[in-house]
Amino acid sequence: MRAVLQDRYGPPEVLRVEDVPLPTPGPGQVRVEVAATSVNLSDWEGLVGSPGYARLGGLRAPRIHTLGSDIAGTVDAVGERVTRFRPGDEVYGDNLRMKGGFAEYAIAPETALARKPPELSFAQASAIPQAGAIASSGTRGVALGTRMLINGAGGGSGAFAIQLAKQLGAHVTGVDNAGKLDFMRSLGADDVIDYRADDFTRHGPYDRILDLVAHRSVFAYRRALAPGGRYQCVGGPVRSLLRVLTVGQVAGLLTGRRLGVLMVEEGPAAFEPVAARCVAGDVAVHIDRTFPLDEVAAALTCVGEGRARGKVVVEIP
């Protein structure tokens, strides 16, 4: 089978497409003939080896050689003790632990996968698991009138988060680069801010901040929070996340605000509710571009350089 391989961390040029042996599913695992794999910022981070948490699976060199977490395709073989799927089943899920989606076949634990709703295409289904789970966790507790700010709102998770927050009745402010302001408005954002021209921490105050790309100081975040407000970050440089976990928690508590890192749940329970909303037509899946397997490097660059409005998908016919 053809697979996109990476032996070291680095720019997209370290990737190559090669023929490799077909993998065999172990106990509890299934082999999926991949039809589509969406790109997440976590894939780009796994390519370049930064932020630091991207190297948890291998400090000097990646232990997993094929990236691609969010897969959708058809089960073509099952390992021992697999009970939920059999060959021919159409599935999708976030294969965050094993990855391997940028290939014609991928091995995944059956627990990571769900049955693909027939109403969704493979490309649409692949776009949902990781970004949908982040958006769903990050908007939990949002209610009518909540003043919510989403930083990095024009990307994969943000596009879902804006829609979910609006449906919960929030007043949503989306922050991203100038090229994504109209896109965020089209998703329902009430206000938009270009982060290169304006500092969102000097606006507000906000009851909730969901930060997909934490770069600022905890004091700046605290300043933007209303009393009783809550800031949650999902990704960003390790030093920013550590500051939120340490100084942020204390600074927040002392002033009646909460600052923390959002640990997103994994597995179908985290993303299936979002897929159900997509099937119902309440939430739209926004795919900016699709790329063939040979152009995974370009697909990753599109996300890594922040050019994607919503999701980018690699399709394998």
**Binding stretches for ligand NAP (CB under 6 A):** 40-42, 45, 130-131, 134, 151-152, 154-158, 175-177, 180, 195, 212-213, 215, 234-235, 262-264, 303, 306
Rg of the chain over Cα atoms, rounded to whole angstroms, equals 19
Query: What does the alpha-carbon distance between residue 122 and residue 116 come to, in Å, rounded to a whole number?
Result: 8
Q: Kindly write down the DSSP assignment for every residue of 188-237, as one continuous string.
A: T-SEEEETTT--GGGS--EEEEEESS--S-HHHHHHHEEEEEEEEE--S-
* Shorter beta-carbon distance to ligand NAP: residue 25 or 268: 268
* Shorter beta-carbon distance to ligand NAP: residue 171 or 215: 215
Q: From the CB of residue 8, how many other CB atoms can be counted at a distance below 10 Å?
A: 11
Structure tokens at 221: 């975040």
Min separation Cβ 183 and ligand NAP, Å? 9
> DSSP class of residue 23?
P
Min separation Cβ 179 and ligand NAP, Å? 7
* Shorter beta-carbon distance to ligand NAP: residue 31 or 216: 216
- 279's CB contacts (< 8 A; 6+ apart) are 117, 119, 120
* Shorter beta-carbon distance to ligand NAP: residue 25 or 156: 156
Q: Which amino acid is at 24?
A: T
* Shorter beta-carbon distance to ligand NAP: residue 153 or 316: 153
Min separation Cβ 266 and ligand NAP, Å? 8
CA 296 to chain centre: 17
* Shorter beta-carbon distance to ligand NAP: residue 40 or 126: 40
Min separation Cβ 48 and ligand NAP, Å? 12
Burial code (b: 16+ CB inside 10 Å, e: under 16) for 214-235 equals bebbbeebbbbbeeebbbbbbb
Min separation Cβ 216 and ligand NAP, Å? 8
Min separation Cβ 167 and ligand NAP, Å? 19
Structure tokens at 77: 């073989």
